Amino acid sequence: MSTSTSLAPSIREQFRQTPLRVADQNVPKHPEPEGSVEDIRLHRKQRLAAAFRLFARFGYDHGIAGHITARDPELPDHFWVNPLAVPFAQIKVSDLLLVNHNGDIVIGDRPVNTAAFAIHSQVHAARPDVVAAAHAHAHALAGKAWSSLGRLLDPITQDALTFYGSHSLYADFNGVVLDTAEGRNIAKALGPNKLVILQNHGFLTVGQSVEEAAWLFVTADQSAHAQLLAEAAGRPKPVRHEVAAPLGRSRSFGGFSFAPYWDIITAEQPDLFD
């Protein structure tokens, strides 16, 4: 298993091509590179470390709470996760832990957040299509405030249409998630969706890449913020179903939309590759 932290290929390298007509451009849906298992593993771990740095910048870190995971490409019942009590703003590739679905820390010598294992092990087990999952609930999150309402997001902005017909609500709050039975309940409530709103808790997003899961989390939080502001000002007008539905089903741009964040974070904080 490679431990190299050399820079994995950027999505931009997949997108560089001879000039095309705009209508003919092929935007990559899933930005993972083709190559060896080691290349894909490195790609996921680097994007995972960058996602934590991004979440810190957005104010999504809160004490020891919050976690993002990435499935290992060679061992599908294992995932990479942040160690307990390491600030999001300081996480490096070398800090990441490899944990299996039995709760064994296979690589790494630090503890893992119990809730992270209880939730993510069950989400990854229930959704073999999912590569990554993200959850946080800091004070800066509009999603945490929105989760107290027990409602789905309405299709009132273009960004919110990302989740139209593709997010769900877990209406039961049973306290801090400390066992896999509650994790299974969350995974069941998530179903085939991109986002599950955890009542009185916050948001959890999943994606077919680390980039997609992270971008969806940011977009969900911003959509909640927009709706809270709009409803405080009046009665928002929803987008028509026939317009919203295709966008809710689409997964075309989730991973690619992370690329600008990646470029900024990696340029400013290259120590994340250590």
Task: State the CATH number of the domain containing residue 220.
Answer: 3.40.225.10
pLDDT band at 187 (very low <50, low <70, confident <90, very high): very high
- pLDDT value at 6 more than 60: no
Task: Answer whether residue 110 shows pLDDT above 50.
Answer: yes
Give the pLDDT confidence score for residue 137 in this predicted structure. 82
| Within a domain: 110 | yes
pLDDT of residue 70: 99
Residue 13 counted as domain residue: no
Mean pLDDT, rounded, for 165-183: 95
pTM exceeds cut of 0.85: yes
- Which band of pLDDT confidence, cut at 50, 70 and 90, is reported for residue 97? very high
Portion of the chain with pLDDT greater than 90, in percent: 80
The pLDDT of residue 1 is above 60 = no
Q: Which residue has the higher pLDDT, 256 or 166?
A: 166
Is residue 171 one of the residues assigned to a domain? yes
Within its chain, how far is the Cα of 161 from the centroid? 17
pLDDT value at 261 more than 80? yes
Average pLDDT, the chain: 91
Q: pLDDT at residue 115 above 80? A: yes
- Predicted pLDDT at 11: 53
Residue 226 lies in a domain: yes
Q: Is residue 17 in a domain?
A: no
pLDDT at 252: 63
213 located within any domain: yes
What number is the average pLDDT over the span 215-228?
A: 97
Q: What is the mean pLDDT of residues 22-32?
A: 59
Confidence at 7, pLDDT banded by 50, 70, 90: low
- Whether the pLDDT of residue 113 is over 50: the answer is yes
Render pLDDT for 44-91 as a digit per residue (tens, 0 to 9).
999 999 999 999 999 999 999 999 999 999 999 999 999 999 999 999
Say what the pLDDT of residue 14 is. Answer: 54
Domain with 220 in it: 36-273
pLDDT band of residue 4 (cuts 50, 70, 90) is: very low
211 within some domain: yes
Give domain status of residue 163, yes or no.
yes
Mean pLDDT of 247-268: 87
Pairing of strands 132-136, 67-71: antiparallel
- The number of domains in the chain is 1
**pLDDT for residue 94 is more than 80:** yes
pLDDT for 129-173, tens place per residue? 999 999 998 766 799 999 999 999 999 999 999 999 999 999 999
